[in-house]
Structure 1
Amino acid sequence: MASSNPANRSSVDLLDSTIPGAFPHAQISTHQTLSQAVYARRAEYTRPRRIRIKVGSWNVAALKGIEKDVGGWFVDGRDVEEAMAGLALEGQQTCGSDERESVKDQEARRTKETTLPWGDPGTVPGGDEIGIYALGLQEVVDVNSPAEALRPYTDPTTANKYKSAIEEVLPEGYRLVAEQQLIGLLILIYASPMMIPEIKSVSTTSVGTGLMGYMGNKGAVTARLILGETTRLVFINSHLGAGADKTALERRNWDVSQITSRTRFDPIADLMGVSQASGEALGEEDFAFWFGDLNYRLEGIPGDDVRRLLTVHTTDSSSASSFADACSQFSTSTADSEVDSMPIPAHMDPASLHTTLSSLLPHDELHQQQKARKAFHDGWQEGPIEFLPTYKYDIGSVGVFDSSEKKRSPSWCDRILYRTRRDKLAYDAKIKEEEEARKKDEEMKARGLEDAGADEDVLFDYNPETDGDEYDDFADAEDEVVVTKEGFEDEMFLEYYTAHQRVLSSDHKPLSAVFALKYDAVVPDLKAHIYQEVARELDRAENEGRPTITLVVDHSATSLTSTEEHSSNFEGVNFGDVKYATPKRRSVTIANTGRVPATISFVDRPAAPGQPEGPAPPWLSIAFDRPPNPPAATPSDTHSVGAKQYTIDPAEVCNVTLTLLISPIPLVRALNEGLASLDDILVLRVEGGRDHFLPVRGNWLQSALGMSIDRLIRIPEGGVRKLQGQKPSGAQPVKWSAPRELFRLTEAVEDSVERAIAEWDMTAGEGDVPPWLSDAAWPFASPQDVHGAENGSDVANEATEEQVFRLRVYEALDTDTPFEKAFEPNTPTRLKLSILAETLVFFLRSLEDGIVTVEMWQLFENGMAAREKAKQQLSPDDGRAWALEILSSAPNHNVSLILITSMLSRILNEIVSASLSSRVDGIGGSMKGTPRSSLDVTAQSPTKGRARRMTLTKNPEAARRWDYATLFAPAMIRAESLGKGREKETRVRDERAVGLIELFLREEETGK
């Protein structure tokens, strides 16, 4: 069964994903059972955290330069005028700092830096006292501009201005964790250094409710984040429809319903062991904050009356402009007479701001719509409003309401609401209770109990018009515990809710609210420890009647080096360092520790997407020490179809050998590049029992095989192993003109040919035929997989001496050590030569891009086809010049081709000289005729090419050149059809490739 997790997940991650059930007969999921048991012990791996969350909202009216005021009021908590913002309403007046700039001077001043008063130390908590800052801005661009409304993309310039202004004043280490913009709406959430590791599963989204119901000139931007793996927070910044008539009011309510129903977040991955299939909606969070320009107005009261009532508090002796004098007078009177200076409580003073606000707030549309259950009635609440309306002011003034011709009525358009999970559930429960009461009422009336109203236990009357006020009953207990969706107990209360009256740069005053949150956070290390304990406890609690087995991994063969990053206490099968084509074996003992026979089998594991399914990855083979059970007539539901089953009696053991072998070059390439890993999990199923999961891993040692020339030329002296833990890339400097491995192999092969010929001359007996005369391709073999790596050889057999030498040559190639060390001192030169020559051909075949790349070959083939069509033929010298000109675009490939063909030419010359010497000396008897080709001409030579070789029988050197070219063309040239030999076009292409290589093997002076 394929996992839904990314391909690069570790074995532990795959084990923690959806996997086959542990108890198939009982249909119980191991994953669910384990998660439930871990969850039951949540108190052991969580710890309480306390933070402050600061929420701010401001309609900036698309004014230029307004961002200069954001940091001061939002982060520093400045610009609150106590007499107008609810901080001095109960007689405990706060006169502010003596050094703070007066309102008169502030309003008269014009500066490009800020409109905020100088010398304000700040009133609301800010700075590093806050753990999370959530700022919602409205109208950061002109939402009435068609150009902005129809812009197909979001210009980041505007958001960047505000981010820079905020980050300039934030304490060091605070970082942006969420951001979302919808035309004029912008939400920014910053977290303190302590909180950043706690925040996971951040998701942002937007909902447009403007023109045609979907445009973004109105709507909301929303962010969801999770604290400590336990607590969901949602922040909603919205701008609802404007206007003071009934239609506008209904549109605002409609906007709220659309935002609520259309907001969806990304799924939460592995939150407390549960992976969601779909994203969450609003209402599923634990704490929500809804803020912004909600545009609700004051209903049923003339605007002029509102203005007159409020102007008293902005212009008389209690206003901000004379507030300092009032404080001075208050102090003096207190000194003269303590009795006379006793302040009148704000709620008893008919001239106080408290009384004025209390008379206006019953006309607030938002409160009315909540009570009527038309908007924000499902658990949303708001702190006490003890500040002046936030809209609409003359820009540049502290307390002058709209003096334009429109004379807009002051209103609390800007709001900050909040809701806990407890509030939402309480509302849902109340609605359910009312619905049940309504149904019972209708049922009683239908049964004819018209007069049953006298019996309150029988008839339940409900009238939403008169009973609506009861909805607030559950919203008063701020200090009650909130049980989160994950079952943890959190607490939150509102500390501050105020307006920043002395911000003068917009016609709206910004709002801020500070919340204190206590939540339980998961400690990952503690949870991992509990997870392991619970897993062991569940293991021990297995029903004794079920088959029970124990896996014992033999670690004695494991040899871990310092270069490995694997933990030495790894409980699975660790193969240690893994090299190309070198099999590694590990033993696993399966013991039946139960009271009944156990039938076992390795079944399909939870493979990552894109990876082959099956009981084991392709690089691992499994062998039991006994034959499998006879195939059952009807396969058990608990086993994969075709899975081999083995039965172990009680107290009996079964040995399993796991063999890891890396052979296919594509897999080698993927391991080299980090696209694959030797990390997987085997699933051992016990029929009627639980699954056992056996992690397997190995530490891949990089190989020079399968790489491109561009990467090989950047490997420093010391070989590819020197880069263990890194990947050769274009960022590293070029070290060689051609791969160093190619230099070493060609030099070693050429030197071995000389030695082999010299030894033959010294040791050959009468009648012995030299190997170069018995095989025209000598010393190179047919391009079959002589290593037994590509064709899946039987790795269970003991390696032959030749195979051991070959693996040592690979090791020498990867570690840049002498090839001589790969052989025993008395190893015959001809055996050394055979292995080195085979390795050279195989190395060329493994190159990712070849000596001649696909692009280069296209140029060669086009030129050859054009000359064939024109019946033109170049001389060998001109042909080589033409080929080298094409190769000049890739100097490293050019040098590599010359290096190989030069080696082949020198070997040909050595063989020619040796053949002439043999004839002269009379060694070997008659040496006339062309040496036999060992190549499979049916598969390797095209029809026309085969005919050509037959014409070369009178020219042994030419026939040998043709065989060399036939062998090396498919190894050096990358063209899709080379070597297939099926269609006519393919045969022609193959012949051209052979001809290109042969061109460089002809003798320059003769042109042959």
Structure 2
Amino acid sequence: MGGDKIGLYVLGLQEIVNLNTYAYVPSPFYAYADPSVVAKWQEALEAALPRHYTLVACEQLAGLLLLIYASPDVAAAISNESTVSTGTGLLGLGNKGANVSRLLFGETTRFVFGNCHLASGHDEASLVRRCSDYNKILMQTTFTPISRSGVMEDEGDKIGDEEFAFFFGDLNFRLDGLPGNDIRHLLTLHARGEYDLSHTKSTPQFGEDSVFVLHDNDDDTLDGASTPGMVSRETSFDRGDSDESSEELPDPDDFVPDPHDDPASLQATLDSLLPHDQLRIAMKKEKAFHEGWQEGPITFLPTYKYDVGTIGLFDSSEKKRAPSWCDRILYRTRKDMERYTKNHQDQVDAQSKDDDMKRRGIEQAAHEESVLFDYDPTTDSNGDTPATSETVYDYDEYEEEGGVDNGEQVIIQDGSIDEISLDLYTSHQRIMSSDHKPVVAIFTLKYDAVVPELKAKVHAEVARELDRVENEGRPSITVVVDGSDPTNADQGGPVDGSGGINFGYVGFMRRKSRSLTIANTGRVQAKLNFLEETKNGDGDNQRFRWLGVKFDPPLNGYSEGNEATIANEISLEPGETVSAIIEIEIRDVKQLQALNERPTQLEDVLVLHVADSRDHFIPIRAAWRPSCFGRSLEELIRIPRGGITELVKEHPNTGSIPPSLDVQSSSPSELFKLIEAIESLTERLIADENMIEDIQIPREKVGWPFDRHMWQTNEDEDYATLRGAIFEALENGQPILEVLTADVPTLKRLEVVSESLLLFLESMPDGIISAPLWARMDQTLPQIAGAKTSTEVEDVKTGVLDILSTEPYYNISFVFLTAMLARVASELLPLNKDEREVINTRKPGSLGKRSLSFRRNAASAVDEGAIQRRIAWERRAAEIFSNAICRTATAPSAKEKKIIEDKMRCVVEIFMRRDGP
């Protein structure tokens, strides 16, 4: 047996480096590792192994090295490898200790392999250290937790939790109670007979790697491994092919005696030495390796100590160390461990019972039990004189406890049954490179393994069954969009049959909505709510709110106990339905500018959460319609007569309008249309007031119609429709008054157009007075807010116009806008000649303060109230429009911000006063 028939090769080496050549640092965790030495051993081992074997574990601790190789089939079944090193030398150094590896086979069976080198020495103190080393390794070894199917166990395994364990290496246990010279002399006689190289018998020649095996006559499982001189003759019960049919009994001389019964055999000599083995004595006294550990029959010479380079020549140095079985291979199954644990617990229980009886004074019963359980063979000796512990050895102990139960079944933790049998346990006597002779063991193991394909199939079946059971007891809903075919959202499909809800093209501040009908088609109550956290992004990871959803008043069948109002969360009984409204609208100016700069698809996923059930995902899509809102003045003057719609037709992929396009107008045509509409509607409103008694202009409301807080009409659905029509007209290059029908009151139309103008100005990134232009005004005209006399005011106006003249398009737009404000003020709040003279002699922004040069003319008709209303209106209008058209750097403080706002207001207010004296 060997070659590629072996599924797992495990090699444990000791003293692979000369520890005397390395200076150790006294640290409890220090362990020397030389990668070059490990590489040499790996190279040599891989050269000897069959092809395609995989290294599954490699660990060095100073002179210790553990290597594990697996065949391709076995390697595929191994997982959760964990290797731990424990140093037990002086101060915890790694010159002694163990490398212990844990492997999981087939997701069911744990294997542990421990390569050990325990304390050396023949005296009693060394024996105690060896036992201590073993127990320290068991206590300190903890493996990483096992992970199965992505689920990690809470704690890591320790030695004893596995199904199969193997401990091997230089355990250093010696022979006690026998003179070393006698052992050496006795074994040398056998070694010379067995390994005499000058022997001329025609026996097969063994190489250095040959295996020498001593076994019983009936052991025919090891072909070619019989010990020379102990091979039985072939015995046949020939019933003959002749006519004679009589049976002949075999000749007794044809039987070779059992080596255990032959006093002259090597095996009988070994049997006489094994009762003195420290390891077996320590196991019996429960000092070490007593927790169910087994060892195969020892049929080979002691493995220590030999002269290097010799065969069968024991230590000839001055120390003349006694031969011993220092190198061992022990193994244990879960069944062995459980049997030991049960027996140990039985002993503890019996001792506890005995102690309890003695405490209760039942002396006779205690005496009887002591007769049954306290037998001491050292004081018996068949009635003769007591024997001493040094001279009494149980020579039949090995027969009782050391036998190997080949084919033993082991029940692992999940209930599967594994099998193990020991096929070979021997030494390599012809390896002469060390003073030790290595030992080898071959085991045959059978274990239950998880079949990946079957596991996946079972998992799928279990998942389906769990889903079926779960679905029967959890809410189930059906969602229908605007009369489309119902789709069961519980199955995760699209709610409209096309992968979501597509709103088509959406423009700036033009709201679109769609409705959903949600029905409880399950057997239990369903609690619903839409999760508020949505992406609402524009691709630059900047979050904008453009999608909203709410429940509408319930439809038919909705229980009367629920509130018939819009709510964020609602409960549906089986069979009930409710409607939900989905709305999209682009209102944020920054998002508007970003979409104009780089048009993108608006996408989001609406999440309908059902308590105790799965969430339902409704994809939302919309396409952005480019707008003239949110454009800079440099872009707006390049829009052709047909508006931004015409420009998109000519340049479909246009985002930002490039400066390479021709300038179409000296001022944005959209601005001209809005100003023209405001002037026309103002004149029309004055005419309506004069002709219709029911119409009254709210002149007492300061800033009307530009101040949103002073509007006479509420912002309702009809208002949003009018505003959308104005936006459509601007984007298509149409006159605004054409889309505002006459059935809409003039006052309402004026308010809607005024708001549209302010939205248009506020959405311009650079405004009409850009940040660079304002910086020049602020620097060169420090007296803007302090101008008092007419001369000072005219100087400010001249300076502002000089700066604006450097940017003609901005200059024209500014003059055009302020001229409109002046005309609207004159129409809404007219003044006579004397009142105009009064207001023009006052400092811009001063409310009711007279100039020192003013002289009241008693004959003149001056209405101080009208003057105050006009000044207040101009001041408020200047505040509104200065914030809409001026762009400045961010002020460092609130105080400086207020100063800048006052200056901007003064600039606009100065240009609003166009009436002459």
- TM-score bucket (shorter structure): 0.5 to 0.7
1:197 to 60, 63, 76: 76
Q: Deviations over 1:806-859 (max 9, x none)?
A: xxxxxxxxxxxxxxxxxx99699xx9xx99x99999xxxxxxxxxxxxxxxxxx
* Closer/same/farther in 2, CA of residues 533 and 177 from structure 1, 3 Å limit: same
Take 1:910 and 1:258, find their aligned partners in 2: how far apart are those partners?
Answer: 93
- 1:76-475 aligned within 5 A: 125-126=2-3, 128-144=4-20, 147-148=23-24, 150=26, 154-212=33-91, 214-270=92-148, 275-316=152-193, 319=196, 322=199, 325-326=202-203, 343-452=256-365, 461=373
1:501 to 417, 429, 435: 429
User: What is the CA-CA distance between 1:243 and the residue it aligns to?
Assistant: 0.4
Q: Deviations over 1:140-198 (max 9, x none)?
A: 22345561464676443322222222233333332222222222222222222222332
Q: Which amino acid aligns with 1:942?
A: P
**Counterpart of 2:462?**
534
Q: Which amino acid aligns with 2:351?
A: R
Q: CA RMSD in A?
A: 6.4
- Native 8 Å contact 1:592 1:649 kept in 2: no
1:941 to 891, 897, 906: 891
User: What is the CA-CA distance between 1:295 and the residue it aligns to?
Assistant: 0.5
* Closer/same/farther in 2, CA of residues 536 and 142 from structure 1, 3 Å limit: same
**Counterpart of 1:90?**
none
Structure 1: stretches of 5+ with no match in the other structure? 1-123, 559-568, 605-617, 633-642, 666-677, 687-691, 701-743, 771-798, 804-823, 842-907, 957-1008
Q: Deviations over 1:441-478 (max 9, x none)?
A: 3333444443347978x996356989997997697534
* Closer/same/farther in 2, CA of residues 469 and 355 from structure 1, 3 Å limit: closer
Question: Is the partner of 1:751 in helix, strand or coil?
Answer: coil
* Closer/same/farther in 2, CA of residues 516 and 746 from structure 1, 3 Å limit: same
- Native 8 Å contact 2:31 2:93 kept in 1: no
User: What is the CA-CA distance between 1:234 and the residue it aligns to?
Assistant: 1.0
**Counterpart of 2:776?**
none
* Closer/same/farther in 2, CA of residues 462 and 428 from structure 1, 3 Å limit: farther
1:912 paired with 2:790, answer no
**Identical counterparts, % of pairs:** 38
* Closer/same/farther in 2, CA of residues 327 and 950 from structure 1, 3 Å limit: closer
Q: Deviations over 1:286-322 (max 9, x none)?
A: 1111111111011111221221122123223664653
Take 2:372 and 2:722, find their aligned partners in 1: how far apart are those partners?
Answer: 95
Question: Is the partner of 2:373 in helix, strand or coil?
Answer: coil
What TM-score do the two structures reach when normalised by structure 1? Answer: 0.50
**Counterpart of 2:858?**
none
Take 2:582 and 2:403, find their aligned partners in 1: how far apart are those partners?
Answer: 63
Question: Is the partner of 1:190 in helix, strand or coil?
Answer: strand
* Closer/same/farther in 2, CA of residues 577 and 503 from structure 1, 3 Å limit: farther
- 1:943-982 aligned within 5 A: none
- Native 8 Å contact 2:232 2:256 kept in 1: no
User: What is the CA-CA distance between 1:392 and the residue it aligns to?
Assistant: 1.6
- Native 8 Å contact 1:386 1:498 kept in 2: yes
* Closer/same/farther in 2, CA of residues 331 and 253 from structure 1, 3 Å limit: closer
User: What is the CA-CA distance between 1:523 and the residue it aligns to?
Assistant: 2.3
Take 2:411 and 2:190, find their aligned partners in 1: how far apart are those partners?
Answer: 43
Question: Is the partner of 1:520 in helix, strand or coil?
Answer: coil
Take 2:312 and 2:439, find their aligned partners in 1: how far apart are those partners?
Answer: 15
**Counterpart of 2:693?**
none
Take 1:307 and 1:239, find their aligned partners in 2: how far apart are those partners?
Answer: 24
Question: Is the partner of 2:38 in helix, strand or coil?
Answer: helix
Q: Aligned pairs, how many?
A: 620
* Closer/same/farther in 2, CA of residues 652 and 754 from structure 1, 3 Å limit: same
Q: Which amino acid aligns with 1:461?
A: F
User: What is the CA-CA distance between 1:369 and the residue it aligns to?
Assistant: 0.9
- Native 8 Å contact 1:587 1:657 kept in 2: yes
Q: Deviations over 1:771-825 (max 9, x none)?
A: xxxxxxxxxxxxxxxxxxxxxxxxxxxx99999xxxxxxxxxxxxxxxxxxxx99
* Closer/same/farther in 2, CA of residues 173 and 624 from structure 1, 3 Å limit: farther
User: What is the CA-CA distance between 1:521 and the residue it aligns to?
Assistant: 1.3
Take 1:919 and 1:602, find their aligned partners in 2: how far apart are those partners?
Answer: 50
Q: Deviations over 1:520-555 (max 9, x none)?
A: 1112342233234334445666899xx643466899
Question: Is the partner of 1:195 in helix, strand or coil?
Answer: helix
Q: Which amino acid aligns with 2:656?
A: V
User: What is the CA-CA distance between 1:247 and the residue it aligns to?
Assistant: 0.8
* Closer/same/farther in 2, CA of residues 139 and 327 from structure 1, 3 Å limit: closer
Take 2:546 and 2:819, find their aligned partners in 1: how far apart are those partners?
Answer: 51
Q: Which amino acid aligns with 1:316?
A: G
User: What is the CA-CA distance between 1:952 and the residue it aligns to?
Assistant: 10
* Closer/same/farther in 2, CA of residues 475 and 679 from structure 1, 3 Å limit: farther
- 1:472-491 aligned within 5 A: 476-491=404-419
Take 2:453 and 2:605, find their aligned partners in 1: how far apart are those partners?
Answer: 23
Question: Is the partner of 1:522 in helix, strand or coil?
Answer: coil
What TM-score do the two structures reach when normalised by structure 2? Answer: 0.54
Question: Is the partner of 2:202 in helix, strand or coil?
Answer: helix
* Closer/same/farther in 2, CA of residues 149 and 626 from structure 1, 3 Å limit: farther
Question: Is the partner of 1:434 in helix, strand or coil?
Answer: helix
Take 1:449 and 1:163, find their aligned partners in 2: how far apart are those partners?
Answer: 67
1:549 to 462, 469, 475: 475
User: What is the CA-CA distance between 1:199 and the residue it aligns to?
Assistant: 1.6
Q: Which amino acid aligns with 2:164?
A: F
Structure 2: stretches of 5+ with no match in the other structure? 206-227, 237-249, 379-393, 507-511, 532-544, 592-603, 622-650, 678-719, 725-729, 735-755, 767-802, 823-843, 845-877, 908-917
- Native 8 Å contact 2:354 2:366 kept in 1: no
* Closer/same/farther in 2, CA of residues 650 and 396 from structure 1, 3 Å limit: same
Q: Which amino acid aligns with 1:182?
A: L
* Closer/same/farther in 2, CA of residues 554 and 345 from structure 1, 3 Å limit: farther
Q: Which amino acid aligns with 1:491?
A: E
Q: Deviations over 1:839-898 (max 9, x none)?
A: 999xxxxxxxxxxxxxxxxxxxxxxxxxxxxxxxxxxxxxxxxxxxxxxxxxxxxxxxxx
Take 1:919 and 1:698, find their aligned partners in 2: how far apart are those partners?
Answer: 45
* Closer/same/farther in 2, CA of residues 383 and 940 from structure 1, 3 Å limit: same
- Native 8 Å contact 2:882 2:904 kept in 1: no
1:524 paired with 2:402, answer no
Larger Rg: 2
Take 1:418 and 1:169, find their aligned partners in 2: how far apart are those partners?
Answer: 26
- Native 8 Å contact 2:477 2:522 kept in 1: no
Choose between structure 1 and 2 for higher RCO, CA contacts under 8 A separated by at least 6 residues: 1
- Native 8 Å contact 1:682 1:693 kept in 2: no
